[in-house]
Amino acid sequence: MEAKRWRQRRRGGPVKPVVQRVKALRLSRDDFEVIKVIGRGAFGEVCVVKLKGTEKVFAMKILNKWEMLKRAETACFHEERDVLVYGDRRWITNLHYAFQDDSNLYLVMDYYCGGDLLTLLSKFEDRLPEDMARFYIAEMILAIDSIHKLRYVHRDIKPDNVLLDANGHIRLADFGSCLRLQEDGTVQSNVAVGTPDYISPEILRPHTQPSFYRVPLPYPHTERSSLPCFLNLSSPTEPLHALPTQT
């Protein structure tokens, strides 16, 4: 029997090589049905998808390889994958599958039906009640701390990237700007990333550090109907308005 199988392999018979069998079992984009697109970014888009043959719904992040190669200095796919794999699942988006094809990289995560913090803010006309603000600020601190314990820094925390699960708890999302912390607690980067409206002014000044008050960046947004910091575009190191630091 073994000799027969060996001869079949030699002739390319019915016994398929292991590699082909593995490829046949591997997930691909065709295994998912796209329900709708819920977000677009520099490297691709995020879709709500359903795994075919089941009722399981996920969020699929699709990253274009060519776009990532063109912007290699700001594309942090490996860092994003590592945070999703090794991060504390209580505070971040949960990763289920990761695969690729010739054109794209795919990350398939839980879909959080609660929306995001920005949408919640808009429902309260950008002024959350104090008890609700305290709750979300506390959870954000725990979420950010869990990333720092992995020796990574998020670099783009804003209400859009704070998702809400079905029970109203937060999930920190979008780790595409993450970098690994060096031994001295800093990161090495020559490229500006993040969203200007939520960058602490101290970050733009050399040899200064942002206060702990600025850790949950959407915090000022929860008590005022304005963004945390408006930057003077003609002089980006001088904010037009910034909240005072606390010690």
Q: What is the pTM of this model?
A: 0.73
Residue 159 clears pLDDT 80, i.e. is over it: yes
pLDDT at 208 over 80: no
List the structure tokens of 39: 């977000």
Average of pLDDT values for 162-188? 86
Residue 106 CB coordination number (10 Å): 19
Active site (annotated) includes residue 102? no
Q: Residue 36, annotated ligand binder?
A: no
If you average pLDDT over residues 199-223, what whole number do you get?
54
What pLDDT is stored for residue 239 in this prediction?
Answer: 44
pLDDT at 218: 46
Q: Which pLDDT score is estimated for 230?
A: 44
Lowest mean pLDDT among 51-60, 195-204, 211-220: 211-220
Residue spans per domain, the chain: 2-110, 117-242
Question: For a pLDDT cut of 90, what percent of the chain falls above it?
Answer: 43
Asked if residues 126 and 81 have their Cβ atoms less than 8 Å apart, the reply is: no
Q: What is the mean pLDDT of residues 124-135?
A: 89
pLDDT of residue 55: 93
Q: Model confidence at 19, in pLDDT bands (50, 70, 90)?
A: low
Q: Look at residue 212 and tell me whether its pLDDT is greater than 50.
A: no
Please indicate whether residue 70 or residue 83 has the higher confidence score (pLDDT).
83
Per-residue pLDDT tens digits for 228-242: 554 444 444 444 444
Question: Domain 117-242 has what CATH class?
Answer: mainly alpha
Backbone angles phi, psi at 160, to 5 degrees: -60, -30
Predicted confidence band of residue 15 (pLDDT cuts 50, 70, 90): low
Q: 229 by DSSP, 3-state: which?
A: strand
Residue 153 clears pLDDT 90, i.e. is over it: no
Query: H helices of 112-242, where?
Result: 117-123, 130-149, 219-223
Tell me the fold of 2-110.
Phosphorylase Kinase; domain 1 (3.30.200)
Q: Quick one: CA torsion of 217, 76, 84, 220, rounded to 10 degrees?
A: 10
How sure is the predictor about 193, in pLDDT bands with cuts at 50, 70 and 90? low
Active-site residue identified among 101, 156, 160, 184: 156
d(CA 32, CA 34): 6
pLDDT of residue 10: 56
* 41 or 48, higher pLDDT: 48
